[in-house]
Structure formats: structure tokens, C-alpha cells
Amino acid sequence: MDFLGGRRLRRSRRTAWSRAMVRESLLTPSDLIWPLFVIDGHNEKTQIRTMPGVERLSVDLCVEAAKAARDAGIPALALFPNTPDHLRSTNGAEAYNPDNLMCRALSAIKSAVPGIGLIADVALDEYSSDGQDGLVRNGEILNDETVAVMIRSALVQSKAGADIIAPSDMMDGRVAAIRDALDGEGFEQTQIMAYAAKYASFYYGPFREAVGTGSRLVGDKRTYQMDYANSDEAMREIEQDIAEGADSVMVKPGLPYLDIVRRAKDSFNIPIYAYQVSGEYAMIEMAAAAGAIDRYGAILESLWAFKRAGASGVLTYYALEVARKLGA
């Protein structure tokens, strides 16, 4: 059979060693960030109904998880508190309590495992009684008033040991305001990872159960999270957050938005992270449980897709499992 120039593209795919040699993207433990859900108590863990295999952990167990992550080569953890109901309020004041659940977890982990990076989520949904990421007045999400509260939250988190502040609220101007406040309080080295392109997605359901906001959410979040029909708007959001001082940016959710990851990678000279969100995790787990897919094969394929699209790293609930297997 006559091939153009004698080329047979399958030659390089014939053996495992050859496939490895020409592989275009790499996946290593250092590409993975592990999100942890924090609860009150001691030696406490609770199951998350819609996220089989993921548990909420008390602070002492988060410390043990951090040690396991460090040993597996994971560079950073992302923390999300499930604030007790009696501490939630319409003004979200618990967000800037220096002894809140998030700050206690940050302090305990930083003391026990100083070499691992800690990413602190900054938004009000984990502290508000209405499940919204911002302060609400007459049904309207207040932008500037919310940013003022977030500044206070970012400062107590930084004092507790956060290495990276991650505003996930999508309020306008919050990156610049937080950067100014951090610098003014001597936290010039604290990074900001902005949730720059966070979409109003239906893939967040299990996460909202995990942090206790799903059942209390009043209304929706479409006036501040992005319309999933839009792509150019994401580039404007990312560009603005970079201009305001973000050290890295995030696209959320992950797999349904790989086009945004690719565009951001091609457009901006800054680390781009993607969040493989709770709904993505749940779909893999439930499809595997039904016998529809090979579980670990699907996990690896999904994570490699992020790297192929240009992501610098991935926030994933599979981080510890995958890091251990990649490092074996």
C-alpha cells in the first residue's frame, strides 16, 4: 500500500515506551490541588451523600490529611468550611471571626505541616444564612458592601496561615481591594488565586450539600456568576482580575469549560487552574458504580484533559488517590 512519504503515524503508538516518549502533556502529583471540607468537632468525619468517597473532616483529621497529601507530593490544599448553623447570619460576620472554623483549620495545618500550601476560599456562602456569596438587600446582591466583608475575611485567613487567598464570589473589584488590604497589613507575599471565570453552573450541587448551603439557598447566583453561554466575557473577567493583581486565575467548572481553559492559556501569561467540581466527580463515581465506565481510567482521562487544554493544575477530589498512584 502506498502511503504519502512512507508515513505511518501508528508507528509511534505501537509500544508503551514509545507512547511515553512522544507524550505531549504530563500529569504529576504536583499538578493536583486537593479540596477538603472542614467540620467542627474532634476525630469527626461525615459522609457526603452525593459525593461517594468524599468526607467532611474535623480540624484534627484535616491535619492528618495534609500530612498524607505532603507525603504523596501534592503541593497545596484548598479548604472549605461547613460552618455550624447557629453561626450563620444574614451579614456573614463569622467569615471574619479570627477563631472561625476556617482559621482554626488553617492554623492547625500550617503548624503541623508547614511545607504544604494552603488555599483559603473567600466568599460568604459558607457563612450566610441565605446561601448567597454576597450580602443581600431586598433581593439584590450588594457588590461593594460584600467586598468590604471579604477584605476582613481575607485578612483573618492570612493571619491564620493562608498562603493563597481565593475569592470565589465573582464580585466586581474584589481582587484589587483584597490585594491592597493584604499589602497594607504586611501580607505582600500572600498570593491571590482569583475565581476569574466562575460560571452559574448546575454542576455545583454536591458541593453545596458538602458545605451546608444547598438547602438554604434563596434564589440563584446568576446576577454575579457567569452565563454559561458566554466565552468572550470570561476573557474580560480574567483580564480584569490579572490587571487587579491576581497571581493566578481559575476556571470553574472544569471539563464542560475546557474551551475557556484553552482560550485563557493562549491569551494570558499567567498560571491557569481548573476546578474539577463536585458534579463532575459525582458523575464519574455514579457511572462507575453502575458499571458504565472504568473508574480509574475515566479519572485519569479527565485529569489529562485539563493538562492537554493548558491548565497549570487541577483542583480535584481525586488528588490523593491519583498522586499516590502516579508516584508509585
Distance, in Å, from the CA atom of 80 to the CA atom of 69, rounded to the nearest integer, reads 16
The tens digit of pLDDT for each residue in 128-169 reads 999 999 999 999 999 999 999 999 999 999 999 999 999 999
Show which residues are catalytic.
Answer: 198, 252
CA dihedral of residues 221, 245, 28, 316 (deg, nearest 10): -20
Contacts of 291 (CB under 8 A, 6+ apart): none
Whole-number pLDDT of residue 215: 75
> In CATH, what number does 26-327 get?
3.20.20.70
Grid coordinates given for 140? 439584590
Contacts of 1 (CB under 8 A, 6+ apart): none
Distance, in Å, from the CA atom of 197 to the CA atom of 251, rounded to the nearest integer, reads 5
Count helices and strands (H / E) in the chain. Answer: 11, 12
Low-confidence ranges of the chain (pLDDT < 50): none
Whole-number pLDDT of residue 219: 84
pTM of the model: 0.96
Write the single-letter amino acid at 3: F
The tens digit of pLDDT for each residue in 100-111 reads 999 999 999 999
Whole-number pLDDT of residue 4: 66
Q: Report the 10 Å Cβ neighbour count for 67.
A: 14
- Determine contact, residues 314/33, Cβ cutoff 8 Å: yes
| DSSP-assigned letter for residue 45 | E
Distance, in Å, from the CA atom of 227 to the CA atom of 207, rounded to the nearest integer, reads 19
